[in-house]
C-alpha cells in the first residue's frame, strides 16, 4: 500500500543518488525525502566504488530515519563490478537481512541463492524470457531500463502479472544510457581513473557534454553517460497504471525533489493534470529540456504530447495477440 496520503495505490520511489554529492548534501537530501510523499527509497553507491566510503557510515542512520517516516528502504548494488573490492561490496550487500536488495550487476546472483531480491535498471531486462529466468532465481521486482518503448513494457507487464512480480519504471530525471570501464570525468580533466581526485564532485548534476557545434548533447557522471534531457512521464502515468505498472521512480537531482515528488504524487492520485504538473516541475528548478521519446518509440530526447486514453486503448488492443519479446522490440 502507498503511504503519505496516497489514494491511487501507486508506489512512488526515490532512486539511488547517482552523483558524487558530499555527505552533508546527502544527509540533507534524505532529511527532505523523509518528509516527502514517497513510499520507497533506494540507498547505495551504484556508479563508482571509490565514492562509497564517503557515506557508508551513514547508511544505518539514514535507513532508520526513513523507516521512522514510513518509507521502505531498499539497498542498491554497484552497476559495474571489476575489482576485488567491488566483488566484496556486492557480497556484503547480499548478506543484508533487514532491508530489501536491488541488484544492478549479475555477479550478485552468485550470492543470492534462495533469497528474494529486486532487479535494477542496469540489468537490461528486455524480454519475457529474461524476466522469467530471473524470477525463477528469486527476483520479485524489476525496474526496467528507461529506453524501453511502451509496447515492450506492456508485454513485460503482462508477463509480470503471470509470474506474480512487480514492475517499476523511471518517470523523472536524466536517463542512464551507458557505462564504461573508463572514467570520462577523470579523462576530461587530464587525470586517470585511479588518480581522479574525485573531480566528479564538481558536477553534482553531471558534467555537460556538447557537440562540436556547441549544442547540448549528453551528461557525464564518472563512468556513466546520461541524457542531457530529463525524463518526464507525467502524461504517461495513467497508461502505465492501466497496464499494471505499480512503482514509479524519481531519480535524484539538485532540484527540489520534495516538490517533484509532490507533483508526481498529485498526478498519480488524479489531483493534478499532467500539463500543470510539468509547469510545476519547472518551478522546482529543472533546468534542462523534458523528454519522453523513448516511451513513444522515438529518439529519446524527443518531447511530445502523451497519447490520449483512446489511443492508448487502441495500442493495448493491438498487443492482445500473442507476441514474443523479439517481435515487440523489432
Please list the residues that pair with 42 across neighbouring strands. 74
Q: Output the pLDDT for position 207.
A: 97
Q: What is this structure's pTM?
A: 0.90
For residue range 268-325, what is the model confidence (pLDDT) as tens digits?
999 999 999 999 999 999 989 999 999 999 999 999 865 544 544 454 444 344 444 3
Q: Output the pLDDT for position 136.
A: 96
Domain 11-175+227-329 falls in which CATH fold?
TIM Barrel (3.20.20)
- H or E element at residue 66: helix 59-68
Which ranges of the chain does DSSP label H, i.e. alpha helix?
Answer: 23-34, 59-68, 84-94, 128-136, 150-163, 184-188, 237-243, 257-268, 274-283, 309-318, 325-329
Across the range 22-40, mean pLDDT stands at 98
Residue ranges per structural domain of the chain: 11-175+227-329
Amino acid at each position: 500500500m502507498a503511504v503519505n496520503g496516497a489514494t491511487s495505490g501507486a508506489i512512488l520511489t526515490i532512486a539511488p543518488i547517482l552523483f558524487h554529492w558530499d555527505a552533508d548534501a546527502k544527509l540533507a537530501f534524505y532529511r527532505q525525502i523523509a518528509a516527502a510523499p514517497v513510499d520507497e527509497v533506494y540507498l547505495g553507491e551504484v556508479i563508482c566504488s571509490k565514492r562509497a566510503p564517503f557515506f557508508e557510515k551513514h547508511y544505518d542512520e539514514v535507513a532508520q530515519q526513513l523507516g521512522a517516516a514510513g518509507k521502505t528502504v531498499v539497498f542498491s548494488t554497484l552497476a559495474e563490478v571489476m575489482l576485488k573490492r567491488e566483488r566484496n561490496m556486492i557480497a556484503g550487500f547480499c548478506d543484508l537481512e533487514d532491508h530489501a536488495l536491488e541488484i544492478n550487476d549479475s555477479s550478485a546472483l552468485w550470492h543470492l541463492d534462495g533469497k528474494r531480491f529486486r532487479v535494477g535498471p542496469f540489468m537490461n531486462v528486455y524480454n519475457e524470457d529474461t524476466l522469467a529466468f530471473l524470477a525463477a532465481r528469486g527476483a520479485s521486482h524489476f525496474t526496467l531500463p528507461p529506453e524501453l518503448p511502451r509496447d515492450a513494457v506492456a508485454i513485460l507487464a503482462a508477463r509480470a502479472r503471470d509470474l506474480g512480480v512487480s514492475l517499476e519504471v523511471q518517470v523523472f530525471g536524466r536517463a542512464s544510457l551507458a557505462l564504461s570501464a573508463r572514467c570520462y570525468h577523470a579523462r576530461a580533466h587530464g587525470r586517470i581513473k585511479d588518480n581522479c581526485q574525485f573531480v566528479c564532485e564538481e558536477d553534482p548534476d553531471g558534467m555537460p557534454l556538447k557537440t562540436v557545434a556547441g549544442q547540448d548533447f549528453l551528461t557525464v557522471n564518472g563512468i556513466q553517460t546520461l541524457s542531457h534531457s530529463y525524463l518526464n512521464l507525467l502524461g504517461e502515468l495513467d497508461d502505465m497504471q492501466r497496464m499494471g505498472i505499480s512503482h514509479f521512480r524519481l531519480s535524484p537531482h539538485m532540484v527540489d525533489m520534495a516538490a517533484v515528488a509532490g507533483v508526481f504524487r498529485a498526478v498519480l492520485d488524479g489531483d493534478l493534470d499532467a500539463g500543470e504538473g510539468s509547469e510545476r516541475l519547472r518551478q522546482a528548478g529543472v533546468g534542462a529540456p523534458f523528454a519522453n521519446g523513448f516511451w513513444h518509440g522515438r529518439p529519446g530526447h524527443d518531447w511530445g504530447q502523451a497519447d490520449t486514453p483512446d489511443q492508448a486503448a487502441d495500442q493495448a488492443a493491438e498487443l492482445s495477440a500473442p507476441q514474443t519479446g523479439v517481435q515487440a522490440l523489432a
